[in-house]
Amino acid sequence: MSTRVDSTGIKLGMWIFLYSEIILFGGLFVLYAIYFYDYAGYFAEGGKELSRFFGSLNTIVLLISSFTVAASITAIQQGKKKMSIGLLIFSICCGCIFLVNKYFEWGAKFHHDIYPNSERLVNGEPGINIFFGLYYVITGLHGLHVIIGMTLLSISLVLVIRDKITQERFAMLDNSGLYWHLVDLIWIFVFPLFYLVL
């Protein structure tokens, strides 16, 4: 009975899991919504301190990597193993670029004495403190998900190289790809909420 592979079922499970991840971030977006209502002016002020250049760059990097992951799944479906490997490596590199950018962004903030419980935030306006508190929690948690996504993609990469993921059996790659799209999707919401806030 159990020998057949039910890829629809595997996908269903994965979608439910992704849904739970969205709810996880949903809790944080609830916090954002309420504090935005309380401190709209300060949020706009805080948003100006963030680098729109880095934010946009990271958005583009993630969008491109989402495309290449999708392309690598199509490639494996068509049996083009080498192409799939290349696209996966490229996507993982994009993830790295994203994290490096994030590192420099956070570093610059730390340099300006903006980090949780820093003197500037504690003694400054409460609204600004909340804005940056949420900024660190949400982008930090998102960064963690980027790392998890990259790990999943790397595992898939190894499996593709070892021929464990093939034209007929690619559920693992498919699901890692879905996860990566989720990471991308959450960023699409995080980006305007922090960098483009009015």
Q: How far is the CB of 7 from other proteins (least distance, A)?
A: 10
Tell me the C-alpha distance between 184 and 63, whole Å.
Answer: 7
Q: How far is the CB of 8 from other proteins (least distance, A)?
A: 7
* b/e code 9-38 from CB counts within 10 Å (16+ = b): eeeeebeeebeebeeebeebbeebeebbee
Q: How far is the CB of 99 from other proteins (least distance, A)?
A: 20
C-beta closer to other proteins: residue 23 or 188: 23
C-beta closer to other proteins: residue 27 or 82: 27
Interface residues with other proteins (CB under 8 A) are 1-2, 6, 8-9, 12-13, 16-17, 19-21, 23-28, 30-31, 34-35, 38-39, 116-117, 121-122, 125-127, 129-130, 133-134, 136-137, 141
Q: How far is the CB of 25 from other proteins (least distance, A)?
A: 8
C-beta closer to other proteins: residue 20 or 74: 20
Among 184, 198, 189, 196, smallest CA distance to 50 is for: 196
Q: Six-digit token pair at 8?
A: 């629809």
C-beta closer to other proteins: residue 64 or 137: 137
